[in-house]
Amino acid sequence: MIKSRICELLNIKYPILQGGMAWVSTAELAAAVSNAGGLGIIGSAAMTPEILRNEIKKAKELTSKPFGVNLMLMSQQIKELVEVVKNDGVPVVTTGAGNPGIYMEAFHKKGIKVIPVIPSVAFAKRLERGGADALIAEGTESGGHVGELTTMALVPQVVDAVKVPVIAAGGIGDGRGVAASFALGAEGVQIGTRFIVANECTVHENYKEMVIKAGDRDTVITGRKTGHPVRIIENRLAKEFMRLEAGGASVEELEKLGAGKLRSAAVEGDMVFGSVMCGQIAGLVKKRQSSKEIVEEIMSEAEAILKNLQNRVG
């Protein structure tokens, strides 16, 4: 059994968080991961406040275990989404794509744990000072909106810089990734891509198939120029985006091309002009399983690896 401060902080059995992916992480997936002993997280980035309220209600019907909501801080309706989270009995919030500092006190007053994603040591220190309960150090191997540093470089530097527990994210898809994360000093992991293909994940079948087919070099980062670099599978949309970027297209033009494309992929199954966000670890995601099978397989692999590694010493 791998124990850490993350299990105690979040009142969960296994130190695995499921990434709160926009259009992908619905109540069904989050509840299944929480029921499996991890922390399921609803991705609210593309939700209206009403939809989020409904998803939280659904998650509570499907699990009695703790679950979380991810807030994408660039969301148009962030203030309203924050209100929903504060008022609807959500125990944990993760944040991405910005600074959650202004909401920290209000969440804590409601007893909500706040775990921001951070892409650098400076940001980690700032948010620890601001009261973050733990931090997710997310490397550029991740899908979706990414920072510059790799997980391997970021995690140990963040671990050395803060006292709160650190959760590693980016490029983790099996027990080897969990064992490596703990070796770097992390006390938990956040996994997104592997859960895209979970049976309980409601994303379009074509999206799951695309992740299963993807190899190690099939993702690219688009949108560096817009200030919002996003890792997606290289398809016609990605190629068109890169062509326009290389040709000096304006930020407005690029944002217009990207608008609504994640929905096209996740809901309509458009794998040609849709934005198929996923991490570099997609190459090792080869089978569909239940969330419970995924969580248990990853944790038993990690335990075996950590035990066997002792044989390499001395």
Nearer of residues 99 and 202 to ligand TUI, judged by Cβ: 99
Q: Are 239 and 224 in contact (CB under 8 A)?
A: no
**By beta-carbon distance, which residue lies closest to ligand TUI?**
144
Min dist. Cβ of residue 46 to ligand TUI (A): 7
Q: How far is the CB of 232 from ligand TUI (least distance, A)?
A: 9
* Shortest distance (Å) from residue 58 CB to ligand TUI: 21
| DSSP conformational letter for 163 | S
User: Smallest distance from the beta carbon of 186 to ligand TUI, in angstroms?
Assistant: 16
Taking each continuous run of H as one helix and of E as one strand, the counts in the chain are: 14, 11
**Measured CA distances, 31 to 121, 142, 148, 241 (Å):** 32, 22, 31, 35
Q: Which residue lies nearer to ligand TUI by CB, 135 or 197?
A: 135
Of the pair 86, 228, the CB lying nearest ligand TUI is at 228
Q: Rank residues 6 and 71 by Cβ distance to ligand TUI and give the closer one.
A: 71
| Burial class of residue 50 (count of CB atoms within 10 Å of its CB; 0-12, 13-18, 19+) | exposed
Contact partners, residue 26, CB within 8 Å, separation at least 6: 42, 43, 55, 201, 202
- Please state whether beta strands 144-145 and 230-233 pair in parallel, antiparallel, or not at all (unpaired): antiparallel
Minimum distance, C-beta of residue 101 to ligand TUI, in the bound complex (Å): 9
Contact residues toward ligand TUI (CB under 6 A) are 22, 45, 72, 96-99, 117, 119, 123, 138, 144-147, 228, 230, 262, 277
Smallest separation, CB 296 to ligand TUI (Å): 26
Strand partners, 39: 17
Taking the complex as a whole, the smallest distance from the CB of residue 308 to ligand TUI amounts, in Å, to 33
Output the smallest distance, CB 109 to ligand TUI, in A.
23
Nearer to ligand TUI, 20 or 177 (CB): 20
Choose between 12 and 262: whose C-beta lies nearer to ligand TUI.
Answer: 262
Cβ within 8 Å of residue 250, ≥6 positions away: none
Beta carbons of 154 and 118 less than 8 angstroms apart: no
Query: Which residue, 39 or 262, has its beta carbon nearer to ligand TUI?
Result: 262
Strand ranges, E, within the chain: 16-18, 40-43, 67-72, 92-96, 113-118, 135-138, 144-145, 166-169, 188-191, 219-222, 230-233
Q: Which is nearer to ligand TUI, 267 or 306 (CB)?
A: 267
Is 229 within 8 Å of 241 (Cβ atoms)? no
- Reading the block at residue 188, the tokens are 């938990």
Q: d(Cα 99, Cα 130) in Å, to the nearest integer? A: 10
